[in-house]
Structure 1
């Protein structure tokens, strides 16, 4: 039998979002152009949409009101079953536990796309800020208060425990657990490691594989993976300015700053060799890519070219 073609998780998510949007109401002219541009980006985009259309035909007899209730993304819904059905039905056979986890993250209680942030207040008064491209689940029980971090970055200010029996507040990630010791802290989970920066009080880290433990005090930041916690270092204030919706550069080489733009906006940034070391300083919006790019072009001797779809940007000297 021919091998089934796998679909990239991001493309699959986009296909599902287009399906939901089109199901709710007809697209206007601008949206229609955007949809056609998305659909023709690659064979994978076309395949994802073909699978979605086939599923739409199979679900054609579901009453409209039920379809809307189950297919729409709702942050307060613990189990958006309709979207789960779409993703599993459209996707190829899942052969990797990691890939399966990525798919489930699409159904997280709270998540943000690239270039957006989200503020959340939990039942105990804890305040969270989700950075660009972040997904979390919230699990409060009689024994624990847990945040499951699938990917991305969160800032946490823990609320005062109101339960008669104290419940520890913990962040569970792929590399280990972080227990709050009455605090404000920032957690950023990447593929290879997780970083924790403590603004107030302290946190205790416990790595997944080696069970190594370490307490991080206020003003300090550490990096760790499943086996090892690296040495502490002082927090760099510019790294936390995303809480205020800003990307900050302080004599930062353009090549390094371009990587920050990639991480925040999900765009491919290519920097020409002759301008990689131009030093960038300033504050830029974390939620408006066009303004950021215009500011760079106006302040520094560079020009920026985008491809037709806007997903690839080249920076070169004027």
Structure 2
């Protein structure tokens, strides 16, 4: 049974996990950890949940990839702690579905935390914008320009390469590669598939496990897996609105909007199935998710309830009785 544990204690447990994996603790520190664990049954239960989570991540190297943690900078470790705390609150079912935790992202060349966005000018003049919870490795050589999307979402505007010899510009993902043909385009990793939308120029899409690819022209988008790419459809012109700090929704299901807003917020943000099918249109600020939730309450028959600071639900508004 997944008994409820105070999220504050789970947050402390996540902090101890990161410290134990990434720092050389003194004897006094170890004693402090033992005292914390013995403080109450809830503290012990929180640590037991940590250990259960680690067992669930069987493919993670021993000591939770400790070498990577020791080399990670403070921002990356804060991101890790937030991710761990969120998983501890969610419980075992979420751990098994979250095997793409930021273990591999901690050492990425460029990364963003939850709710953070980052704009970077690359050496060839390419502009790269990383959305929330994203990670990219940059691999430029005399013969090629490769960006490895390790997770999340990016918007690229390729520059005019100053190198004397032409170097193709490629975005590599686990599902395949994207070759830019002088362009502005968006790439989003969605679990076992990748979404790409082209706003200027063209992009050649090549799934990893087939010889059949396609070329997307400006105004087109597709999703692809390692085995196939879907037929192109019209690109959503508002798909990159996040670059300006807004989420533009046009006749979206409320459940889809809440899922998208959840990417920018710590903890759990969920939609009650009773209101999941409500349709929503509007522009929602991404730098203030609480303001976006208040806007939903004003425009739809919904109520935002908070069980804890880390658990928020958008549900039906209670009926008024006389």
Q: Could you tell me the TM-score, scaled by structure 1's length?
A: 0.70
After superposition, where does 1:8-23 map in structure 2 within 5 Å? Answer: 15-16=17-18
Question: In structure 2, do the counterparts of structure 1 residues 17 and 286 end up closer, same or farther at CA, with 3 Å as the change threshold?
Answer: farther
- 1:316 corresponds in structure 2 to 316
What is the total number of aligned residue pairs between the two structures?
259
- 1:43 corresponds in structure 2 to 47
- 1:213 corresponds in structure 2 to 213
- 1:302 corresponds in structure 2 to 302
- 1:135 corresponds in structure 2 to 135
Give, in angstroms, the shift of residue 115 of structure 1: 1.6
- 2:28 corresponds in structure 1 to none
Give, in angstroms, the shift of residue 288 of structure 1: 1.7
CA RMSD of aligned residues (A): 3.7
Within 2, Cα distance between the matches of 1:14 and 1:114? Answer: 21
Give, in angstroms, the shift of residue 264 of structure 1: 3.7
Give the match's secondary structure for 1:230: coil
Within 2, Cα distance between the matches of 1:111 and 1:119? Answer: 11
Question: In structure 2, do the counterparts of structure 1 residues 282 and 153 end up closer, same or farther at CA, with 3 Å as the change threshold?
Answer: same
Give the match's secondary structure for 1:103: coil
Within 1, Cα distance between the matches of 2:112 and 2:188? Answer: 14
State whether residues 112 and 118 of structure 2, in contact with CA within 8 Å, keep that contact through their aligned partners in structure 1: yes
Within 2, Cα distance between the matches of 1:262 and 1:101? Answer: 16
Question: In structure 2, do the counterparts of structure 1 residues 45 and 144 end up closer, same or farther at CA, with 3 Å as the change threshold?
Answer: farther
- 2:94 corresponds in structure 1 to none
Matched, 1:152 2:152: yes
After superposition, where does 1:197-276 map in structure 2 within 5 Å? Answer: 197-265=197-265, 267-276=267-276
Question: In structure 2, do the counterparts of structure 1 residues 151 and 277 end up closer, same or farther at CA, with 3 Å as the change threshold?
Answer: same
- 2:73 corresponds in structure 1 to 72
After superposition, where does 1:46-61 map in structure 2 within 5 Å? Answer: none
Question: In structure 2, do the counterparts of structure 1 residues 188 and 100 end up closer, same or farther at CA, with 3 Å as the change threshold?
Answer: closer
Give the match's secondary structure for 1:297: helix
After superposition, where does 1:95-174 map in structure 2 within 5 Å? Answer: 103-174=103-174
Within 2, Cα distance between the matches of 1:249 and 1:112? Answer: 23
- 2:93 corresponds in structure 1 to none
Q: Which runs of 5+ in 2 are unaligned?
A: 1-12, 26-41, 53-62, 64-69, 85-97
Within 2, Cα distance between the matches of 1:234 and 1:152? Answer: 22
Within 1, Cα distance between the matches of 2:205 and 2:184? Answer: 14
Question: In structure 2, do the counterparts of structure 1 residues 300 and 127 end up closer, same or farther at CA, with 3 Å as the change threshold?
Answer: same
Question: In structure 2, do the counterparts of structure 1 residues 169 and 255 end up closer, same or farther at CA, with 3 Å as the change threshold?
Answer: same
Per-residue displacement from partner, 1:252-310 (whole Å, max 9, x unpaired)? 22122122223343643333344223222211111221111122223322211112242
Give, in angstroms, the shift of residue 12 of structure 1: 6.7
Question: In structure 2, do the counterparts of structure 1 residues 207 and 182 end up closer, same or farther at CA, with 3 Å as the change threshold?
Answer: same
State whether residues 274 and 317 of structure 1, in contact with CA within 8 Å, keep that contact through their aligned partners in structure 2: no
Within 2, Cα distance between the matches of 1:308 and 1:196? Answer: 36
Within 1, Cα distance between the matches of 2:19 and 2:220? Answer: 39
Give, in angstroms, the shift of residue 163 of structure 1: 0.7
State whether residues 267 and 313 of structure 1, in contact with CA within 8 Å, keep that contact through their aligned partners in structure 2: no
Q: Could you tell me the TM-score, scaled by structure 2's length?
A: 0.69
Per-residue displacement from partner, 1:103-156 (whole Å, max 9, x unpaired)? 222211111122221111111111011111111111111111110001111000
- 2:6 corresponds in structure 1 to none
Q: Which runs of 5+ in 1 are unaligned?
A: 1-10, 24-38, 49-54, 56-68, 88-97
